[in-house]
Amino acid sequence: MKFSIIPLSRPLTRLLHTSTRCLSHENPLGLPARGSIPRFQRGLPQKRPIPKVSHIIAVSSAKGGVGKSTIAANLALAFSRLGHRTGILDTDLFGPSIPTLFNLNDAPRLNENNQLIPLTNYGVKTLSIGYLLPSESAPIVWRGPLLLKALQQLLHEVDWSPGLDILVLDLPPGTGDIQLSITQQIPLDGAVVVTTPHTLAIKDAIKGIGMFAQTKVPVLGVVQNMSLFCCPHCNGTTAVFGGQEAVRQQVCEEHGLEFLGDVPLHPNIGEDGSRGKPTVVAEPESDRAKVFMDVARRLGEKIGLGDPQ
């Protein structure tokens, strides 16, 4: 019996779509084969620093829908506004948000060493698997091994030249393969846990704290998001997702963590992100932006970020 190869319906113009490499599980992002793509090994992998990156922090929530990516994007922009050379890496492979938040959608180019060159906006270097998808709505339907290979390439096959003072990692929700692989593959200065005052979000935040404890990654503190809503008509405040003290007591005090900041529930924060111009850029003098700036300053002190270069 003879088999014929069915031609693809349209040219594969993006780096992601190199089918033979995807099937081999060696090169899911379609980088040229002569690159130095790390391979899986038995036992725990040896941690390798990301070249030209001085400090790395991870922003985690362990639960979806609490505004983690919005917090990560605004923190990265706050670090940049403070004068630090800043990048953000979107490691949420199933639901990348950085392309929308930074209003970027071009496919990244490759340098002479076959490394991905980040896209830049608002002074922050960014990289996301979302830049490599054929469309914004295209899903990634991959099993674990292929996901982890893609993650390895995002961590180790990116050119952050001329260098970064700090790289912010936007982690996916949960405490699974991606989070574990990141903590095992690269040295992290620490993690920031994002939660809302809602009971379910707090329970998952505590699980995330436990994950970092098991992987020996210091938790730098907790950011409470969507805490109070201030009515623009009567100026009254409402704790939409529960009392403000729950996060301080159940998360911070019981686990010995610092409460880094309290981000209010404000429609402008969501609208700013939706149009690709986060609050720190869109409304730099607002009280909301000042919260992100204060959190960035505190984090810089905790990890020894130093003065801007």
The model carries a pTM of 0.86
Task: Give the pLDDT band of residue 34 (cuts 50, 70, 90).
Answer: low
Question: Mean per-residue pLDDT for 119-124?
Answer: 97
Task: Give the pLDDT band of residue 208 (cuts 50, 70, 90).
Answer: very high
Structure-token pair, residue 131: 């830049």
Helix (H) or strand (E) holding 288: helix 287-303
Q: What is the DSSP letter of 251?
A: I
Listed range (158-162, 247-251, 295-299) with the worst mean pLDDT: 247-251
Coil vs helix vs strand at 125: strand
Confidence (pLDDT) at 4: 44
Confidence (pLDDT) at 162: 96
Confidence (pLDDT) at 44: 58
String of DSSP letters for 184-251: HHS--SEEEEEE-SSHHHHHHHHHHHHHHHHTT--EEEEEEEEEEEE-TTT--EE-TTS-THHIIIII
How much is the mean pLDDT over the chain? 85
Residues 112 and 14: their CA atoms lie apart, in Å, by 18
Say whether pLDDT at 148 is over 70: yes
Residues 106 and 118: their CA atoms lie apart, in Å, by 10
Question: Mean per-residue pLDDT for 255-267?
Answer: 92
Confidence (pLDDT) at 41: 52
pLDDT tens, 72-101?
A: 999 999 999 999 999 999 999 888 999 999
| Percent of the chain surpassing pLDDT 70 | 84
Listed range (17-21, 94-98, 187-191) with the worst mean pLDDT: 17-21
Say whether pLDDT at 255 is over 50: yes
Phi, psi of 176 (to 5 degrees): -110, -145
Confidence (pLDDT) at 143: 76
Most confident of 10-14, 22-26, 211-215: 211-215
Task: Give the pLDDT band of residue 32 (cuts 50, 70, 90).
Answer: low
Confidence (pLDDT) at 119: 97
Strand partners, 230: 237
Tell me how far the alpha carbon of residue 303 is from its chain's centroid. Answer: 18
Residues 32 and 83: their CA atoms lie apart, in Å, by 35
